[in-house]
Copies of this chain bind each other. A is one copy, B any other.
Amino acid sequence: MTSATTAAVTPAEHEALRRALVLAATEGFDLGPNPRVGCVLLDADGATIAEGLHRGAGTPHAEAAALANARDAVGPDALRGATAVVTLEPCAHTGRTGPCAQALLDAGIARVVYAQSDPNPVATGGGELLRAAGVDVVGGVLVDEALALNPVWSAAMELGRPFVTWKFAATLDGRTAAADGTSRWITSTASRADVHRLRAEVDTVLVGTGTVAADDPSLTVRDAPLRGPQPLRAVMGLRDVPTGARLATTGPDGAASLHLRTRDPRAALATLWEHDRRHVLLEGGATLAAAFWRAGLVDEVVAYVAPVLLGAGPAVVGDLGVDTITGAVRLEVVDVTVLTPDPVDGPGDPGPGETNVRLTLRPRKET
């Protein structure tokens, strides 16, 4: 559409983009529903004027942070004709902060180099906007590295709903509890600690009202470091959550709960999306898991397998509508990790040194 001449990416810009990737990866912030982004501003000689990074929802975007740092350091005039190097396409969207593409234009930036195109349908278009205003724009540099900064966020944006990780813990024969419903403990303390680490990586934990009635779980992160607030504890289903349930009151660290009065996984995810949720850990029982699978709404599986046999008891997943082997749900194994045996017996521990196996899987792409 535009005919701006686009110069090849210079070595200085490449180096600046690598630096922006490092800035974006800085630990210690609660990003909330936002992606990790880094930005470096270069003068006409390729020397760095200023840097910036995004520190989470409600705080300045990486470009705005870099522009502010530049104005503090060298004054606004130094930005005329400068180049902005960013890990993500500058946004064209007014959210809690203004659009970065416009801020770059206002500052007199003459050239923009970015890595990943913005997959967010409401924010995309920044590159186009800049180009239309006569800025020299190059996108798609070091895309894989940029994607690796925000794999779950990127997938969620493209899906237009939260990314769903289904976690289950089962025996070698696929049981999640004994015939009488008891399940403490099938897995080792190492596995259970790993589940807390997993919860700390998501923004939402989801179960069904059946699990609340049966187990009264607290679903909080307890044995792992939290980078932000406790994940939202969401309950899905038409039944009321009993007033005495752990999920009926605010948990430790202000852990919030939300009752989604629906049996439709898609509706539940839509509501969670409106609540700025990007990554849901599905921890419910066989019925809820089967509903998500049937709706095609599972993006990742984390399975904890304990070296235990029960011979009876609830299954991992309910009816998937699969009658014959050719209809089987086939997954791709991403990782297999042998979880270090428990060093000592804790209370209720199944025994010293129990080894569990964690499998991480993704649905197979249709070929």
Chain A interfacial positions (CB closer than 8 Å to B): 170-175, 177-180, 182-186, 290, 293, 301, 303, 305, 307-312, 315-333, 336, 338, 350-355, 357, 359, 361, 364, 367
Whether the pair A359, B186 counts as a contact (CB closer than 8 A) is: no
Whether the pair B333, A338 counts as a contact (CB closer than 8 A) is: yes
Complexed CA–CA distance, A177 and B327 (Å) = 12
Whether the pair B310, A328 counts as a contact (CB closer than 8 A) is: yes
| Contact A332-B315, Cβ < 8 Å, known A324-B178, A325-B186 | no
Q: Which residues of B contact A333 (CB under 8 A)?
A: 307, 338, 355, 357
Whether the pair A350, B336 counts as a contact (CB closer than 8 A) is: no
Whether the pair B309, A317 counts as a contact (CB closer than 8 A) is: yes
| Contact A178-B327, Cβ < 8 Å, known A312-B320, A355-B332, A359-B307 | yes
- The A interface is mostly helix, strand or loop, or mixed, namely loop
| Contact A178-B307, Cβ < 8 Å, known A173-B316, A351-B367, A357-B359 | no
| Contact A310-B332, Cβ < 8 Å, known A174-B174, A174-B315 | no
Whether the pair B173, A315 counts as a contact (CB closer than 8 A) is: yes
Complexed CA–CA distance, A177 and B177 (Å) = 21
Whether the pair B309, A331 counts as a contact (CB closer than 8 A) is: yes
Q: Which residues of B contact A185 (CB under 8 A)?
A: 325
Q: Which of B303, B308, B320 contacts A330 (CB 8 A)?
A: B308
Whether the pair A307, B327 counts as a contact (CB closer than 8 A) is: no
Q: Which residues of B contact A336 (CB under 8 A)?
A: 336, 338, 355, 357
Complexed CA–CA distance, A325 and B185 (Å) = 7
Whether the pair B178, A322 counts as a contact (CB closer than 8 A) is: yes
Whether the pair A173, B310 counts as a contact (CB closer than 8 A) is: no
| Contact A309-B329, Cβ < 8 Å, known A174-B174, A174-B316, A315-B174 | yes
Which of the listed residues A172, A325, A330 has the most CB atoms from chain B within 10 Å of its own CB? A325
Complexed CA–CA distance, A336 and B307 (Å) = 11
Whether the pair A328, B178 counts as a contact (CB closer than 8 A) is: yes
Whether the pair B330, A350 counts as a contact (CB closer than 8 A) is: yes
Q: List 26 A-B contacts (CB under 8 A).
A: A172-B301, A172-B331, A172-B359, A174-B174, A178-B323, A178-B328, A180-B323, A183-B325, A184-B325, A293-B311, A307-B331, A307-B332, A308-B330, A308-B331, A309-B316, A309-B317, A311-B315, A311-B321, A311-B322, A311-B329, A312-B319, A312-B323, A328-B350, A330-B351, A336-B338, A357-B359
